Structure 1
Amino acid sequence: MTNQLREYGVNLATAAVGASGKEATIGGYIAAAGLFLSGLLGGWDMALKVLLVLMVVDYVTGVLGAAKHKKLNSDVMYWGGIRKMVVLVVVGLGAMIDDWIQPGAPIFRTAAIYFYAGREGLSVIENLGTIGVPLPRAIHEFLTQLNEKGGGSDGKNV
Structure 2
Amino acid sequence: MKQSTDTLWTAITGGASITLAYLLGGLDNLVAALAIFMACDYITGIIAGAKDKQVSSRRALKGLGKKAGMITFVIVANQLDIITGNQNGFLRDAMLTFLIATEGISIVENLGRLGLNVPTFLVKALEQLSDKEGDKQ
What CA distance in whole angstroms lies between the structure 1 residues aligned with 2:19 and 2:123?
42
The one of 37, 51, 74 equivalent to 1:91 is 74
Give the 3 Å change call, closer, same or farther, for CA 141–49 of structure 1 in structure 2.
closer
The DSSP-based 3-state class of the residue aligned with 1:124 is helix
Letter matched to residue 87 of structure 1:
M
Rg larger in structure: 1
Counterpart in the other structure of 2:22 = 39
Give 1:135 shift: 2.1
Output the TM-score relative to the length of structure 2: 0.82
Structure 2 spans left out of the alignment, 5+ residues: 125-137
Counterpart in the other structure of 1:119 = 102
Counterpart in the other structure of 1:60 = 43
CA RMSD in angstroms comes to 1.9
Give 1:132 shift: 2.7
Counterpart in the other structure of 1:146 = none
2:40 is equivalent to residue 50 of structure 1: no
- Say which structure, 1 or 2, has more relative contact order (CA 8 Å, 6+ apart): 2
Give 1:70 shift: 0.7
Counterpart in the other structure of 1:29 = 12
Corresponding pairs, count:
122
What CA distance in whole angstroms lies between the structure 1 residues aligned with 2:55 and 2:28?
34
Structure 1 spans left out of the alignment, 5+ residues: 1-19, 143-158
The DSSP-based 3-state class of the residue aligned with 1:42 is coil
Offset from partner CA, 1:43-99 (integer Å, 9 cap, x none): 101001000110011001000000011111222211111010011001001000001
Give 1:133 shift: 2.5
Counterpart in the other structure of 1:109 = 92
Output the TM-score relative to the length of structure 1: 0.71
What CA distance in whole angstroms lies between the structure 2 residues aligned with 1:60 and 1:27?
28
What CA distance in whole angstroms lies between the structure 2 residues aligned with 1:87 and 1:46?
17
Q: Calculate percent identity across the aligned residue pairs.
A: 27
Asked if structure 1 preserves the Cα contact closer than 8 Å seen for 2:21 and 2:27, the reply is yes
Letter matched to residue 41 of structure 1:
L
2:52 is equivalent to residue 69 of structure 1: yes
The DSSP-based 3-state class of the residue aligned with 1:61 is helix
